[in-house]
Amino acid sequence: MNASFLSILRQIPTLFRHTVSLAWHADPWALVVVAVAQLGQAAATAFGLLATNRVLVSLFAAGPTADRVREALPSLLWVAAASAFAATLRAVSFAATGRLGPKVERLAGLSMMEQVIRVEMEHIERSDFHAALDSGQHGQTAARRLIEHTLGIVEALMALIAVSGVLAVLHPVLLPLLVAVVVPKAWGTVRAARRTYESVQIWLEHVRQQGALRRLLISQRAAPELRVHGAGPFLLDQFDQMAAQAADEQTRLAHLEARTELATSALSGLTAGATYAVLGWLLTHGQLPLAAGATAALALTSGTAGLRRMVTHIHHLYEQSLFMNDLIRAREEARRRAIPATGAPVPEPPEVIAFDRVTFRYPERAAPALDDVSLTIRKGQVVALVGANGSGKTTLSKLLAGLYLPTSGTVSWDGTDLRALRRDDVFAHVALVLQNFKQWPFTARANVAISRPDAIHDTARLDAAAAYADAHSVLADLPHGWDTLCEKGYEGGVDLSGGQWQRVALARAYFRDADILICDEPTSSMDPAAEIDAFHKIRALASKDQTIVLVTHRLHSVKEADVIYVLDEGRLVEHGDFATLMSADGPQVFRRLFELQSHQYRTDTLDGVPAQRIRSRDAMPDQSPAAGTTG
């Protein structure tokens, strides 16, 4: 946004239109009430000034004082009535503005979030987009303040028109004088607004990082390491340094503002002095009767106050509009990066999902996470993805779910490129247990039912999901069963163990009842019995025609998979069923990994005593107290 003084003045009508349209959408009635109340106030102001003039004319007339006061009395009553009327309307307008503001804020926030929740995963992970979203957050409160300041401007403008009308009747030269008093002030306030906004923009990343640190310092998840590893004082020191830098910036702004304020006040003072000198000249040269002069002085005081109010409101309007502009920009960016709502429908679960020479590169990463991968997944199959850390299993699962689109190559569902399909339909066929699945800070019920929120009150379905994932024992321990809050730090909140959370995640995926179930390390925290049971149940779903994609490092559990895909540094290096991959004349990667793992199990147990303990005792004889005394 161009920020020069004149350009701001030019932008005011647009800002005004934008704000009024926002308010109209939020609450048309409140807007009408405010408009009427403000018109009424302006009329009351003008009427009050004219009545004041009549009071003064009566008081300055010839004759005994008692008669003059008596003469002035009816006009005085009119002044009082006008003032009471204006006060009542001010209250009405205040109440309606109070009603309008929060609604506008809600509408502005909603309009942004509606777009944000549809943004492609790839973009939601980008730092530039996140910075734009953070700037946009300021726009929510800005929307509310925009309304308040726009209405403030209208109110001040109305009052000014009323005062100007009266001044013009008294003497035309008084009008430009009124404006001259306020111009320096206007210039100063706009300058300050621009400085504040520029500072906020430059310091945005700083503020974001400071916010992240603040959250970490009070986070429950970070608390153990913060204490045991001594990370607390370290982070606190960083936080304090950042706070000190921010404080310096605030001081710099305050000093600049004080300087501008001083300069503009001096100029305003000079113009005010000149104005009253002109008024004095008009009176002494008989250009203006004494009563009219007094009214003019009153009108000038009230007029300059109105103008100052208007300038202050314009300053804030401008400042807030810059933030509002950020919100609009973030919203537009989100809309531009959104998952398209259109595409070919996917009414049935796919018979075949095919990856054809798929390469995928994360933004800001040079090496591809998936490199020229071709594979097929058929309906009802159990497909296993195995490979070392970072080999691309999770990435592949996310492409399969339609969360990412390939950088090159295609993922197709029954021959149609994923790009051409309606993505909401694609998602509708998928249930996920992600490696970093979300532990929602909600009740146990919501944690399971969030995969299909419309069925949240279907307790039978919830129970079936819990039974499937063996989560009944977890629920039985919770103080309020399904309705226990699974987040510490809130009233009645509890935390679950790692394995218990995984059961909840599995129950969530089952509750969704989708055609394709993607499980990425679904049992990594489960005890051996639970793990065996979970794998058995996951595989059993395939017999109900569900397609299962299982990512795991537990190679024993993929024995029964229809096909195993082995990834290595993003490339698909082997595939086939277990027997094929294990045959001596076949490829070797899977076999070597499998044998390494099973060898570990075989040699790690000797007559039920973990071999590790035997070895470590044998390996360190010198460190025993006995060895110390003899050696």
Ligand X SMILES: Nc1ncnc2c1ncn2[C@@H]1O[C@H](COP(=O)(O)OP(=O)(O)OP(=O)(O)O)[C@@H](O)[C@H]1O
Binding-site ranges for Mg ion (CB under 5 A): 393-394, 435
Measured from the CB atom, is 349 or 522 closer to Mg ion?
A: 522
Task: List the x/- string, 478-517, binding to ligand X by CB under 6 A.
Answer: ----------------------------------------
Measured from the CB atom, is 294 or 411 closer to ligand X?
A: 411
8 Å CB contact between 341 and 539: no
8 Å CB contact between 373 and 355: yes
Beta strand pairing call for 547-551 and 516-520: parallel
Considering only CA atoms, which of 527, 584, 536, 543 is closest in space to residue 559? 536
Residue 65's binding partner out of Mg ion, ligand X, none, with CB under 5 to 8 Å set by partner kind: none
Provide the b/e sequence for 40-57 (b: ≥16 CB within 10 Å).
bbbbbbbbbbbbbbbbbb
- Give the nearest distance from C-beta 577 to ligand X in angstroms: 21
- Give the nearest distance from C-beta 393 to ligand X in angstroms: 4
Residues 377-416 interacting with ligand X (rule: CB under 6 A): 387, 389-395
Applying CB under 6 A, which of residues 362, 427, 440, 442 lies at the interface with ligand X?
A: 362
Measured from the CB atom, is 443 or 557 closer to Mg ion?
A: 557
Q: State the Cα–Cα distance between residues 557 and 568, nearest whole angstrom.
A: 19
DSSP count for the chain of H helices, then E strands: 21, 12
Considering only CA atoms, which of 151, 134, 123 is closest in space to residue 327? 134
Helix (H) or strand (E) holding 573: strand 571-576
Measured from the CB atom, is 145 or 361 closer to ligand X?
A: 361
Q: State the Cα–Cα distance between residues 189 and 319, nearest whole angstrom.
A: 10
DSSP string, 63-98: S-HHHHHHHHHHHHHHHHHHHHHHHHHHHHHHHHHH
Residue 293 contacts ligand X per CB under 6 A? no
Residues 552-571 interacting with ligand X (rule: CB under 6 A): none
Q: State the Cα–Cα distance between residues 267 and 270, nearest whole angstrom.
A: 5
DSSP string, 172-205: TTHHHHHHHHHHHHHHHHHHHHHHHHHHHHHTHH
Measured from the CB atom, is 185 or 393 closer to Mg ion?
A: 393
Give me the residues paired with residue 417 across strands. 412
Please tell me the count of residues contacting ligand X according to CB under 6 A: 13
Q: Which two tokens stand for residue 622?
A: 């010198």
Measured from the CB atom, is 296 or 396 closer to ligand X?
A: 396
In whole angstroms, how far apart are CA 387 and each of 396, 524, 538, 570?
A: 12, 15, 20, 9
Residue 24's binding partner out of ligand X, Mg ion, none, with CB under 5 to 8 Å set by partner kind: none
Residue 427's binding partner out of ligand X, Mg ion, none, with CB under 5 to 8 Å set by partner kind: none
- Give the nearest distance from C-beta 131 to ligand X in angstroms: 17
3 state SS of 393: helix
Burial class (CB in 10 A: 0-12, 13-18, 19+), 522: buried
- Give the nearest distance from C-beta 529 to ligand X in angstroms: 24
- Give the nearest distance from C-beta 551 to ligand X in angstroms: 7
Measured from the CB atom, is 151 or 517 closer to ligand X?
A: 517
- Give the nearest distance from C-beta 355 to Mg ion in angstroms: 17
Residue 493's binding partner out of ligand X, Mg ion, none, with CB under 5 to 8 Å set by partner kind: none
Measured from the CB atom, is 56 or 401 closer to ligand X?
A: 401
- Give the nearest distance from C-beta 517 to ligand X in angstroms: 17
Task: List the x/- string, 108-147, binding to ligand X by CB under 6 A.
Answer: -----------------x----------------------
- Give the nearest distance from C-beta 394 to Mg ion in angstroms: 3
Measured from the CB atom, is 152 or 522 closer to Mg ion?
A: 522
Residue 387's binding partner out of Mg ion, ligand X, none, with CB under 5 to 8 Å set by partner kind: ligand X
Q: State the Cα–Cα distance between residues 594 and 553, nearest whole angstrom.
A: 10
Residue 257's binding partner out of ligand X, Mg ion, none, with CB under 5 to 8 Å set by partner kind: none
Judged by CB under 6 A, the stretch of 146-154, 166-174, 236-244, 362-370 that binds ligand X is 362-370
Considering only CA atoms, which of 329, 387, 394 is closest in space to residue 362? 394
Measured from the CB atom, is 137 or 435 closer to Mg ion?
A: 435
Residue 435 contacts ligand X per CB under 6 A? yes
8 Å CB contact between 377 and 353: yes
Applying CB under 6 A, which of residues 6, 63, 341, 365 lies at the interface with ligand X?
A: 365
Residue 24 contacts ligand X per CB under 6 A? no
Site residues (vs ligand X, CB under 6 A): 125, 362, 365, 369, 387, 389-395, 435
